[in-house]
């Protein structure tokens, strides 16, 4: 049985190598995933790393896709795109430098909590580097349990995200 189409949002980030080119390539690959199409992509933003590890700033963006892939299949496809860009989750340090990080932020308005997958992303409401690009392309996107993306961003105390030209 076919899964009905779902609008999902993917967070993209990277800070190793030419992160700008990597994110643009990853957006192209998202549009080529089976039964998936890229609907919108935010601007690219330069943001400070989180997690307390000394490393370069990140380049971040958010993509809006339409897919009929179930959430866990979509997540596995995202891991494949990461691997194609040189990411090896098995050897990297948590919150450390990486070539490409793809996070399934929202999957429709579903709340999913299964092994290895939590949607909405567990820290979405505290991460300006996700919320700023999300609000750029979908300010009224519902973040289950929190409200609209615009409302959640408005509730943050302070943040800095530098849009790249």
Catalytic residues: 87, 98, 101, 103
47-56 burial string, b = 16+ CB within 10 Å, else e? bebeeeeebe
H-state helical runs in the chain: 19-31, 71-84, 128-137, 149-155
- Cis check: omega of the bond before 120, within 30 degrees of 0: yes
């Amino acid at each position: 049985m076919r899964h009905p189409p779902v609008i999902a949002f993917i967070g993209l980030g990277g800070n190793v190598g030419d992160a700008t080119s990597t994110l643009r390539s990853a957006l192209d690959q998202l549009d080529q995933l089976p039964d998936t199409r890229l609907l919108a992509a935010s601007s690219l933003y330069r943001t400070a790393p989180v997690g307390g590890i000394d490393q370069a700033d990140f380049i971040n963006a958010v993509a809006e896709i339409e897919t009929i892939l179930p959430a866990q299949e979509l997540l596995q496809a995202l891991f494949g795109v990461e691997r194609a860009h040189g990411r090896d989750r098995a050897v990297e340090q948590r919150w450390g430098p990486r070539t490409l990080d793809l996070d399934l932020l929202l999957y429709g308005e579903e709340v999913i909590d299964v092994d290895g997958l939590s949607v909405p992303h567990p820290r979405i409401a505290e991460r300006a580097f996700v919320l700023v690009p999300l609000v750029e392309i979908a300010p009224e996107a519902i973040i289950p349990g929190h409200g609209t993306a615009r409302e959640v961003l408005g509730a943050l105390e302070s943040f800095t995200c530098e849009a790249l030209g």
